[in-house]
Amino acid sequence: MKRFALFLLLLAPGVVHAADKRPMKIEDLFAFKRVADPQISPDGKMVVYSITTVDLPGNKTSTSLWLAPTEKGEPRQLTNAPGKKDKHPRWSPDGKQILFESNRSGDNQLWLIDLSGGEAKQLTTISTEASNGIWSRDGKQIAFVSAVYPEFSEKPFKESDEQNKKKKEEIEKSPVKAKVFKKLFYRHWADWVEDKRQHLFVIDAPSPARSAGKNETTPLLAQRAGEPRDVTPGDRDAFPTSDTFSTGDNFTFSPDGKYLIFTAVPEKDEAWSTNYDICRVPVTGGTTKWECLTKDNLAADSGPQFSPDGAKLAYRSQKRSGFEADRWDLQVVGCDASGSLTGRPKTQQLLVKKDLSADEFIWLKDKVILFASDYHGEKRIYSIFGPGDDGDVGDAVTHVGPGTCFSITANGIGNMAYARANMGQPTEVFTSGAGRETPISRANDSVLADLDLPRPESVYVPCAGGTPMQMWILKPPGFDPNKKWPLAFLVHGGPQGAWEDGWSYRWNPQLWAAQGYVVALPNPRGSTGFGQKYVDEISGDWGGKCYDDLMAGLAYLEKQPYIDSERMAAAGASFGGYMMNWFQGHTTKFKTLITHCGVYNFDSMYALTDEIWFDEWEHGGVPWDKDKRESYEKFSPHRYAKNFKTPTLVIHNDLDFRVPVAEGLQLFNTLQRLGVPSKMINFPDEGHWVLKPKNSEYWHKEVFGWLAKYCPPGGK
């Protein structure tokens, strides 16, 4: 095996790196601490966040909570449960406690830790587990999510919980492992959903005085807090089953604490409908009839959040039913303390004028909303002043550094924190104010100090119709412009996604560049952050303008004096994997292709995928409609198999329910029958992504080994 030979080339004489720094190695990817989910305290003085560490030899991860001051001082570890996962921290309104979820007791439950000292204490013991806990404004109630069997959900909690536990144990103990499906969804992403539904529960919160005693001997606060109440019983999900429609916590208490307002999954046809709605139910529970606040919009609505003064409700919305990649607008509407609407929603004109699509958002204070949006290969934070008013205005928060910003958190009185990353820096926590950005977490400073991580260059390439395509170019450490370098041409997934100046633990451009390649990251038609028209131009045309854009980007690169046109490779996953399969039948420019979980046959893709709405929109309808057959056939890679010649590494996994494994098997069988050099790697325990540490390590070694075989690294 020559998996590590490519590293030696980077150390050859004549290659000069940044002083005292070295190129990134595979093992470095697992040495980084993975920072996530910052939450600023009610007084703005502290931020709590999670850090995940990887135990590569043990093939596992641990997640703990950390606390850092927003002014002076060092971060400190707040929780420590080795081998377990403490995550999703949420401050109590008085700032004295932090609610979080953890599997430290064996399954996932809610826990509380008091900031004055003492150990964390378990709050819930529900048999179907608990997640995504949030507080009511007065701190007297806590709501959370649990996936239950809906047939028991209208019974009293004690009885329903016993029935859920009994059914769960019977399934686990039964020698018969048959799964029975009566409707869609029965699986999603990498999980078998079967007949469970995600419901919202409310529990009374224990008082801090009773939960923080140093001589506490009772391990479970749930004994004092009362029984949880299922406030969304019935055969329907009260929490997004698709992350496409998920933002923030997805549900919230009304200002008076008497209702929950939440993102509800479509009442029917959920596998082929995007009609998510904002619904409202009393916290007393017991009703299967949910009041719909957005019934006039047949497209998606999600992510309700009340203004700090409780006078307005904001949420995201789309206009086109069935289209998951439509622009997300922000709506703001007046409301009373119960969350009942008192007017008509107003679309915030900043997004319309700038053609921006709102990702997550947060109320900074009563008259200001912050939201994140893709913009030309970055994710920026924007502000809206006077949301809901006729004259709402806003602009980018210009003092935020370069890269991708997300996980925005604010305390309602003007203090904010957020996560930010770029291609040279993993995710860290920052605060912003008074015209400056302040790093808070600094969890990876020691690892970064050793690494040579070049900054990418952004270029715009002229494409068909006079439309430019933005593309990132990342040169390897020790790059010598007088030499010829091989090219790694990476195509992103989606297709409605983008290569951004960000950080990834899956497809990390720095790690690819460190092997000795110039890495190109093009954003062709369909990419987000370049206006909705640019996004729309991929639908029904996967192998058309998008392919032409990519070829224009490749032609631009071939003209660069430092690119060796005889050593060019391409790789991609999901839609990027599709494009590798399309390349296979339409170009011989590349010496090798690497296709991960890519679409190969549009007919089988439709028949096997979980979210059917996606394919129906992309092709304009169902495949048995004769008027839609052209779309399913014209751009399906399998129809061009007679042209396949390029050596290909195929990777596809058994638990990928989005682009099912049959797509990869069909491709590999075809390549083998044609005699095209090919290899397939199948992970039976992974889904659309390869997430387990040892599997990820193996994936990277195999990918870079294959790449080096057919497209040798290094400058010549």
Catalytic residues: 574, 656, 688
365: CB partners within 8 A, 6+ apart: 308, 410, 412, 413, 414
Dump the DSSP string for 276-290.
Answer: -EEEEEETT---S-P
Rounded CA separation 108/149 (Å): 17
Chain center to CA of 194: 23
133 within 8 A of 115, measured Cβ to Cβ: no
487: CB partners within 8 A, 6+ apart: 517, 518, 519, 520, 557, 563, 564, 567, 568, 569
Helices (H), strands (E): how many in the chain?
16, 38
Rounded CA separation 280/290 (Å): 6
Helix, strand, or coil here: 25?
A: coil
Angle between helices 575-586 and 545-558 (to 10 degrees): 70
Is residue 240 reached through a cis peptide bond, with omega within 30 degrees of 0 on the bond before it? Answer: no
| Phi/psi-derived region of residue 580, left when phi > 0, alpha when psi is between -120 and 50, beta in every other case | alpha
Helix, strand, or coil here: 305?
A: strand
Residue 210 token pair? 């009773």
Residue with the two structure tokens 């060019």: 568
Residue 157 has phi, psi (to 5 degrees) of -55, -50
Residue 261 has phi, psi (to 5 degrees) of -115, 130
Residue 388 token pair? 């809901």
112 within 8 A of 221, measured Cβ to Cβ: yes
* CB-CB neighbours of 627 under 10 Å: 8
Rounded CA separation 300/289 (Å): 19
Rounded CA separation 371/408 (Å): 8
- Looking at the DSSP assignment, which residues form a beta bridge with residue 46? 69
Rounded CA separation 181/371 (Å): 40
By C-alpha distance, which of 662, 501, 671 is closest to 594? Answer: 671
Residue 412 has phi, psi (to 5 degrees) of 85, -5
Residue 364 has phi, psi (to 5 degrees) of -75, -40
Residue 133 token pair? 């806990």
480 within 8 A of 672, measured Cβ to Cβ: no
345 within 8 A of 333, measured Cβ to Cβ: yes
By C-alpha distance, which of 142, 36, 44, 146 is closest to 92? Answer: 142
652: CB partners within 8 A, 6+ apart: 596, 597, 659, 661, 663, 664, 665, 680, 682
416 within 8 A of 408, measured Cβ to Cβ: yes
272 within 8 A of 243, measured Cβ to Cβ: no
Helix, strand, or coil here: 590?
A: coil
Chain center to CA of 239: 16
* Helix H or strand E encompassing 472: strand 468-474
Length, in residues, of the chain: 716
* CB-CB neighbours of 135 under 10 Å: 21
